Amino acid sequence: MSPAHSRLPVVLVAGLHAAVRRAAVDELLLASPGAQVLHHDLSTARDGVVRASVWDAAGTTRTHETPLVNDCACCALREDLVPELLRLADSGICSLAVVELWDSVEPKAMAEVVVGTPVGDRHSGAVLDVVGVVTAVDPELLLSSLGCGDDLAEHGLAAAPSDERTVADTLARQLEYANVLALAASEFPDPADLALLGQLHSTARRVTVGEGGLAAAARGGFDVRAAAERQHPACALLPQEADEHGVATVVWHRTRPFHPARLYAALEDLTCAAARSRGRFWLADRPDTLLMWDAAGGALCVEEAGPWLAALPDAAWELVPPARRVAAALDWHPDHGDRAQHLTFTSPGLDRDGLLRALEGCLLTDAEYAAGPESWQHLPHAFDDLLAPVR
Phi and psi based region of residue 252 (left: phi greater than 0; alpha: psi -120 to 50; beta: remaining): beta
Kindly indicate the confidence band of residue 121, based on its pLDDT and cuts at 50, 70 and 90. Answer: very low
Kindly indicate the confidence band of residue 2, based on its pLDDT and cuts at 50, 70 and 90. Answer: very low
Torsional sign, CA 163, 174, 177, 247: negative
Torsional sign, CA 176, 182, 185, 191: positive
Alpha-helical runs (H) found in the chain: 18-31, 73-91, 107-115, 139-146, 167-177, 191-200, 214-218, 224-231, 260-271, 322-331, 352-360, 366-371, 373-376
Q: pLDDT tens-digit profile of 154-169?
A: 999 998 888 899 999 9
Q: pLDDT tens-digit profile of 315-336?
A: 888 888 888 888 888 889 999 9
Mean pLDDT across the chain: 92
Q: What is residue 1's predicted lDDT score, i.e. its pLDDT?
A: 43
Q: What is residue 118's predicted lDDT score, i.e. its pLDDT?
A: 55
Instruction: For residues 380 and 310, give the distance between their C-alpha atoms in angstroms, rounded to a whole number.
Output: 23
Residue 188 has pLDDT above 70, yes or no: yes
Kindly indicate the confidence band of residue 244, based on its pLDDT and cuts at 50, 70 and 90. Answer: very high
Residue 233 has pLDDT above 90, yes or no: no
Query: If DSSP codes are grouped into helix, strand and coil, which group holds residue 382?
Result: coil
CB 40 within 8 A of CB 80: yes
Strands in the chain per DSSP E = 7-14, 35-41, 49-56, 59-67, 96-100, 127-137, 180-183, 205-208, 242-244, 247-254, 276-281, 289-296, 299-307, 341-348
* Domains of the chain, CATH where assigned: 3-231 (3.40.50), 242-376 (3.30.1220.10)
CB 146 within 8 A of CB 27: no
Q: What is residue 5's predicted lDDT score, i.e. its pLDDT?
A: 57
Q: pLDDT tens-digit profile of 281-324?
A: 999 999 999 999 999 999 999 999 999 999 999 888 888 888 88
The average pLDDT across 125-138 equals 94
